[in-house]
Amino acid sequence: MPPSTHAGDAERGYIVPIGGAEEKFKNPEILDRFVEICGGKSARIAIIPTASELEDTGRNYEKLFRKLGIRHARVLDIVTRNDCNSDKYLDYIGKAQGVFMTGGNQLRLSTTLGGTAVAQTIRRRNASGMHVAGTSAGAAFMPEHMIAGGSEGSTPSPDKVTMAPGLGLTNSFIIDQHFRERDRLGRLLTALAYNPFAVGIGLDEDTAAFIRPGDSLEVVGSGGITVIDPSNLSYSSMDRARRGDPVSLIDVKLHILIAGGRFDIQTREARPE
């Protein structure tokens, strides 16, 4: 599902995928920056903990955002697809400046929210200026094509990744998280071999991509982002590879960006700051 179309002259909101394990106490740079773009202390932020099976995940983020000065942070306890039709949840998202999706299992997000009124409202509101952040599973769920699972390792292989439809806030990127910590280069390369149209973003922990309207991104956080650009791919053996076989990819460009680094999806140019 492609991103929602713009509403009138409104500018799209930011999309902020976070690699997981973001710093929450000593120097919560990523969360502080998210609060800032949402408008500061007066912002209204909706917290969606659907990906998590832990009962206190949403409340912990609610307390955290309030500690950061947000007066109107609210957990939307979306557990079933029927919950996604709740008028009170839809109304809150409709008036929010930001949505934050927690970590857990991204398939819980896609199977619960996919195609529902809540998903449609988030997409429509992002198109008209609301900012959407997600950490770990919440980050993976953001694009049109979602990495649902896979195995570790640096070499692509046909069975290295499982894909599923995502929320569809962007069709320009495929996003993976806990990237360096869990050795996920191979599965992101595999995902891109199946769909060389998109650019891959591999997010280290405590690292976020602040994706501006127009699909240029800036790196915030203590780790790095691996940007994989397959636009000049000249050869792939994916079409003839069998399960477990390594896959050859030629002329794939890779960038490692750290805090302040930028990448522009239109020009495919990366720069350090």
Q: What pLDDT shows up at residue 209? A: 98
Per-residue tokens: 217: 């991104």
Asked if residue 3 belongs to a domain, the reply is: no
Exposure string (b/e) for 65-100, b if CB count within 10 Å is 16 or more? beebebebbbbbebeeeebbeeeebbebbeebbbbb
Residues marked active site are found at 136, 178, 205
Q: What pLDDT shows up at residue 264? A: 97
Q: What pLDDT shows up at residue 8? A: 55
Instruction: Return the SS3 of 218.
Output: strand
What's the rounded Cα separation, in Å, for the pair 10 and 129? 6
Asked if residue 117 belongs to a domain, the reply is: yes
Asked if residue 239 belongs to a domain, the reply is: yes
Q: Are 200 and 230 in contact (CB under 8 A)?
A: yes
Domain residues for 183? 15-263
Instruction: Measure the CA dihedral 200/29/122/10, to 10°.
Output: -90
The angle subtended at Cα 31 by Cα 186 and Cα 56, nearest 5°, is 85
CA neighbor of 209 nearest in space, from 17, 34, 12, 14: 17
Q: What pLDDT shows up at residue 67? A: 96
CA neighbor of 22 nearest in space, from 223, 205, 258, 177: 205
Asked if residue 112 belongs to a domain, the reply is: yes
CATH number, position 71: 3.40.50.880
Q: Could you list the mean pLDDT of each consecutive 10-residue stretch along the chain, which spans 273 residues?
A: 60 98 97 98 98 97 97 97 98 98 98 98 98 98 98 97 98 98 98 95 98 95 98 97 97 98 97 94
**Which residues fall within 8 angstroms of residue 36, CB to CB, at 6 or more apart?**
none
Asked if residue 71 belongs to a domain, the reply is: yes
- Total structural domains in the chain? 1
Asked if residue 220 belongs to a domain, the reply is: yes
Asked if residue 7 belongs to a domain, the reply is: no
Asked if residue 273 belongs to a domain, the reply is: no
H-helix or E-strand spanning residue 149: strand 145-150
Q: What pLDDT shows up at residue 195? A: 84
CA neighbor of 174 nearest in space, from 187, 156, 159: 187
